[in-house]
Amino acid sequence: MSPDVAFELMMILTSGCALLVSAWLYWRARRRRSMKALAGFGVMMALWCAGHVAVFHGWERLGIALILANPLMPTFFLDFAVGFVNQGVGRRPWLDRLARGRGLLYLAALAVLLASLWLEGGGVIAFGPFAHYFVFQGIGWFNIAYTIAIGVLAHALLLWGLRIHSGNRRRSIAAMFAAGAWGLLLATSFIFPSLGLYWYPWPMLLLPSYVVLLVYGVVRYQMLEINAWANRALLWTLMTALVMGLIALLSAMAGQFGMQALANVPKWQLWLYSMLLLMLALALYQPVSKLVERLIYPGSRLDEQLLALWQQRLGEASSWSGLANAAAGLISRQMGQPVAIRFTPEGESAQALPAGPCIQCRHQPQGWQARLQGFEDVTPGLRLAAEVFASLLATRCGLLERSLQLAEAERRRLSEQHLVELGGLSAAMAHELRNPLNIISMATAGLEASRKEMIQAQLKRADRLISDMLAYSGRIQVQCQAIPLAALLDSLRPQFDWQGTAFEHQLPADYRLWADPYRLQQVVVNLVDNALAFVRNRPGGRICVEAGDRPGLVRVHNNGPLIDAELGERLFRPFVGKRSGGSGLGLAIVQRIMEAHGGHVRHRQDLGWPVTFELYFPEEKHS
């Protein structure tokens, strides 16, 4: 292939690439003016390359006019740069004024073009392999100088945008600079003959890459679908280069293996046939791929719309039960039969799986994993759909778990904040209340014994209420150590008015709890005092403390009346208990103390006693 033909082919290829990219960009730009300006830049690049082709074929006036229109190229690019840089930042008055004056820039470019045509700013010469080649002359030098000045202004604006922007927009600007440097390197050789340097413009043969790299560098961070297109284009380019290399090697070695007819075929014909076959394979890839998928996976109907619907419906679930119901409905509709959904969070044992198709999601150390159960008899297509759905469901399980953890952490934060505020209020109220109570207590000194005893009893009750309120609303801190529980219970016996109630503990002598001594004493006193309010002075009244079936577990029983089921659900809330003379905070305080230890308390009626409170203290943690 002669050098002049190679140059002409590269100009045609550049023009075609620029027109295709510009048409696609304009179609995708919608209302984004900056992208439409970039499409205009591509159109002017296509016309500029077409001008060279026109000159080669002797259409000199048309070709010179198209080449001298090059001031419009940087003007379109400057228009793009203004709009691109002025997005995503605070409005800049000088940029707004420049944007409003873009029409004047286009008029100035047209004026330079008309002056260059009127005063013959270019001509045609012959040199080297070229019979017709464009060179600047006269006012044409002003034309190229103006073009360079507008290009410098556009890139200076981008340089300023590189400083103020971040993220994808900054990456786009950096890509523009890289593409601009590449384009400058390629286009420099075009002007050499105008300077009297009659060198063949080899770099111009790579010009098709400039417009593609420039537009791709800009939009790859703005329009995600362009990346998929670039992936296919790069794959096709690499396959073309590989096939052309193999064809060249085969042609060179064909004669040595007796394939003389193949060796005599011109290489360009082999390359042309190979490229046509590659293009045909590229065009047939999608329909053939779909046909093969239908043959291998009959009944499968997975597409982007279905996957988007699945993700949307699964994403709307805000609880495990809601997610299970949504997932079961979606996959059952797809499979045409009921499909069960089972979740196994971290730390829980696996549930028994039902008969029939089931998707089980389990929390593993590496994250949530989904497993299909009972899908042996379904078609390959439906099994593929179930596997894809299970993968989406496992991902959603991880997201929901983190969402619930964040919600629980926020709930605890608000609860702690509320308790801090309540603690401050309680401390202030306790101070204000105890002062008048002390005065009342002193005022009873001269009263008769019966009245004084009655008033003192009520004062003690009020003081107990204040103390419980402070204990509940204050911040609970624990300093744990090993406590012998039996010795603690024996030391507390004298504090209570048993009045015929039997109190016993069934604990080994060496039984110990890892707890805070003072807080553990509060828990025992509150539970025993609460039980005495119901069993004191009753025939056969009993309170019993025994060790549970695992370390750290203690149960406090009493044979008082059964607690109503509806009351049991709210038993540990403040001011819920029905104990006569109590503050209503005893059990709520017990729950707060147990939570501070990292344990829990619960009410049970299934252990052979009417009322049982079960306490769990975690074991000692060794560092």
pLDDT for 266? 74
Q: Quick check: is 549 in a domain?
A: yes
Pairing of strands 367-373, 542-547: unpaired
- Is residue 279 domain-shared with residue 381, that is, in the same domain? no
Residue 179: closest CA among 140, 207, 149, 214: 214
Angle ∠(146,147,149) on CA atoms, nearest 5: 60
In terms of C-beta density within 10 A (0-12 exposed, 13-18 middle, 19 or more buried), how is residue 199 classed? exposed
Q: Quick check: is 501 in a domain?
A: yes
Amino acid at 8: E
Distance CA 161, CA 459 (A): 75
pLDDT for 105? 92
Residue 164: closest CA among 173, 155, 176: 173
Distance CA 144, CA 188 (A): 12
- Is residue 191 domain-shared with residue 332, that is, in the same domain? no
Distance CA 47, CA 55 (A): 12
pLDDT for 229? 55
Successive 10-residue mean pLDDT values, the chain, 623 residues: 83 87 76 78 91 91 93 91 76 79 92 94 90 92 92 88 80 80 81 87 84 67 51 66 74 72 71 75 74 59 78 88 90 86 73 78 85 80 84 90 86 71 64 71 76 75 66 73 90 85 87 90 88 85 90 91 77 68 73 88 89 89 53
Distance CA 406, CA 181 (A): 49
Bridge partners, 481 (sequence order): 515
pLDDT for 76? 92
Token pair 């002598």: residue: 509
Tokens, residue 356: 């029939």
In terms of C-beta density within 10 A (0-12 exposed, 13-18 middle, 19 or more buried), how is residue 562 classed? exposed
In the chain, the number of structural domains is 4
- pTM summary value: 0.44
- Is residue 276 domain-shared with residue 349, that is, in the same domain? no
- Is residue 206 domain-shared with residue 314, that is, in the same domain? no
- Is residue 169 domain-shared with residue 270, that is, in the same domain? no
Distance CA 215, CA 144 (A): 23
Half-sphere exposure of 285 (CA within 13 A, CB side): 9
- Is residue 72 domain-shared with residue 112, that is, in the same domain? yes
DSSP 249-263: HHHHHHGGGT-HHHH
Q: How many CB atoms lie within 10 A of CB 48?
A: 23
Rg (CA), the chain: 43
- Is residue 494 domain-shared with residue 402, that is, in the same domain? no
- Is residue 172 domain-shared with residue 261, that is, in the same domain? no
- Is residue 377 domain-shared with residue 486, that is, in the same domain? no
Q: Yes or no: say if 618 and 599 are a contact pair by the CB < 8 Å rule.
A: yes
Distance CA 611, CA 593 (A): 20
Q: Quick check: is 471 in a domain?
A: no
pLDDT for 201? 87
Helix, strand or coil, per DSSP, at residue 613: strand
Q: Edge-to-edge strands of the sheet including 340-344?
A: 340-344, 358-364, 367-373
Domain boundary among 385, 409, 433: 409
Domain boundary among 296, 324, 356: 296
Q: What count of residues does the chain have?
A: 623
Angle ∠(405,411,412) on CA atoms, nearest 5: 90
- Is residue 215 domain-shared with residue 359, that is, in the same domain? no
Alpha helices in 30-139 (DSSP H): 33-56, 60-68, 72-85, 93-100, 102-118
Q: Quick check: is 555 in a domain?
A: yes
Q: Quick check: is 497 in a domain?
A: yes
Domain ranges, residue 612: 476-616
- Is residue 278 domain-shared with residue 370, that is, in the same domain? no
CATH number of the domain to which 181 belongs:
1.20.1070.10
Indicate the DSSP class of residue 501: -
Tokens, residue 362: 């389990």
Distance CA 387, CA 371 (A): 8
The values of phi and psi at residue 117, to 5°, are: -70, -40
Domain boundary among 357, 383, 409: 409
List for the chain the helix, strand, coil content (%; round to 5): 65, 10, 25
Q: Quick check: is 273 in a domain?
A: yes
CATH number of the domain to which 540 belongs:
3.30.565.10
Distance CA 334, CA 302 (A): 10
Helix H or strand E encompassing 547: strand 542-547
- Is residue 397 domain-shared with residue 486, that is, in the same domain? no
- CA–centroid distance for 275 within its chain: 42
Q: Quick check: is 185 in a domain?
A: yes
pLDDT for 305? 80
Q: Quick check: is 543 in a domain?
A: yes
